[in-house]
Amino acid sequence: MRFDSFAPGRAAGAALLLASALLAGCQSLQSSDNFLGVITPYKVEIVQGNVITKEQAELVKPGMTRSQVRDALGSPLLTDVFHADRWDYVFTIRRPGAEAQQRKVIARFDGDALKSLDTGGELPAEHDFVASIDTFKTSRNAPPLMLTDEQIKALPVPPATPPSQVEPTGPARTYPPLEPTT
């Protein structure tokens, strides 16, 4: 085949067809979470605010001072000059592999004393919250790190050696004096 007989209109049409096929391929790559099922892009974990668990909310009682509430729940995410009697604790987390979560807890004050704590519903216990954001599924099958009392009793007892027969290991070290002797 001779190149000089190739029509310029056909070359432009072929180039246009190739470009549109490539652009369609790029669009499908952007919409998927991985490239050919092998490469996955890094997704940033976003955590904002204070986690307030059921145990923390149970520590807070009406009549507590602002500093006592701050000690129990942490610093509020939002304090407003125009609503000085209200603290907003907002918590959001977006973690790859876990469901996004958002909670709002509002502490209302009368002067320096806590009037009420609105949790906006049931707060999770600490253990339940940690389980909900756990994305390391293999860690649940990991063996326990401590032995039980029965396992400790089943271990063989090492033979006892008298202290006189124990030999020091390694070379004996001598150090020069720290201060010169005169």
The string of pLDDT tens digits covering residues 155-168 is 998 887 776 666 66
Residue 180 lies in a domain: no
Residue 21: predicted pLDDT = 67
Q: Residue 123: which CATH number?
A: 3.30.1450
Give residue-wise pLDDT tens across range 69-95.
Answer: 999 999 998 888 888 899 999 998 888
Bridge partners of 93, per DSSP, are 47, 101
Q: Which helix (H) or strand (E) holds 116?
A: strand 113-118
Q: Which of 102, 100, 105 is nearest to 92 (CA)?
A: 102
Three-state DSSP state, 88: strand
Bridge partners of 110, per DSSP, are 113
Q: Which residue has the higher pLDDT, 154 or 136?
A: 154
Residue 94 lies in a domain: yes
Residue 108: predicted pLDDT = 94
Residue 66 lies in a domain: yes
Residue 143 lies in a domain: no
Does this model's pTM top 0.85? no
Residue 134 lies in a domain: no
Q: Are 92 and 78 in contact (CB under 8 A)?
A: no
- How far CA 38 is from CA of 23, 32, 33, 35, 41, in Å, comes to 21, 12, 10, 6, 10
Which residue range forms the structural domain that includes residue 122? 46-129
User: What are the residue ranges of helices labelled H in 60-99?
Assistant: 66-73
Residue 10 lies in a domain: no
Residue 114 lies in a domain: yes
d(CA 33, CA 56): 37
- Would you say how long the chain is, in residues? 182
Residue 55 pLDDT level (bands cut at 50, 70, 90): very high
The answer, yes or no, to whether residue 61 has pLDDT greater than 90, is: yes
Q: Where is mean pLDDT largest: 9-18, 42-51, 107-116, 163-172?
A: 107-116
Residue 25 pLDDT level (bands cut at 50, 70, 90): low
Residue 55 lies in a domain: yes
Give residue-wise pLDDT tens across range 89-146.
Answer: 999 888 877 788 889 999 999 999 999 999 988 899 988 888 888 776 555 566 777 8
Number of structural domains the chain divides into:
1
Residue 32 pLDDT level (bands cut at 50, 70, 90): low
